[in-house]
Amino acid sequence: MRALDRGETFTVTRNGVPVGELIPVRPRVFVAAESVVAAFKGAPLIDRRRFRHDIDVVQDQDPAPRG
């Protein structure tokens, strides 16, 4: 844990096969609402129906339980 505090990253393995990583948590950065609004000012509007269609084309969102 001290090494993580120092910024080191570790690969977790099972039988020599990588299965995960331990990485230091990055501190959250607060961004003022005014800054976010300014960043998106002038951005194109999003057509909700088209966006929903685009998502549905690539993502299976069937609410039926898997099992």
Residue-wise pLDDT tens digits, 9-52: 999 999 999 999 999 998 889 999 999 999 999 999 999 999 99
Residue-level pLDDT at 33: 95
Residue-level pLDDT at 61: 72
Residue-level pLDDT at 60: 75
The predicted model gives 58-66 an average pLDDT of: 77
Domain segments of the chain: what residues?
Answer: 2-57
Q: What is the number of helices (H) and of strands (E) in the chain?
A: 3, 2
Residue-level pLDDT at 22: 96
DSSP-based three-state secondary structure for 22? strand
Residue-level pLDDT at 49: 95
Kindly provide the b/e burial profile for residues 25-55, where b requires at least 16 CB atoms within 10 angstroms of the residue's own CB.
eeeeeeeeeeeeeeeeeeeeeeeeeeeeeee
Pair of tokens at residue 44: 């194109």
d(CA 21, CA 6) in angstroms, rounded, equals: 16
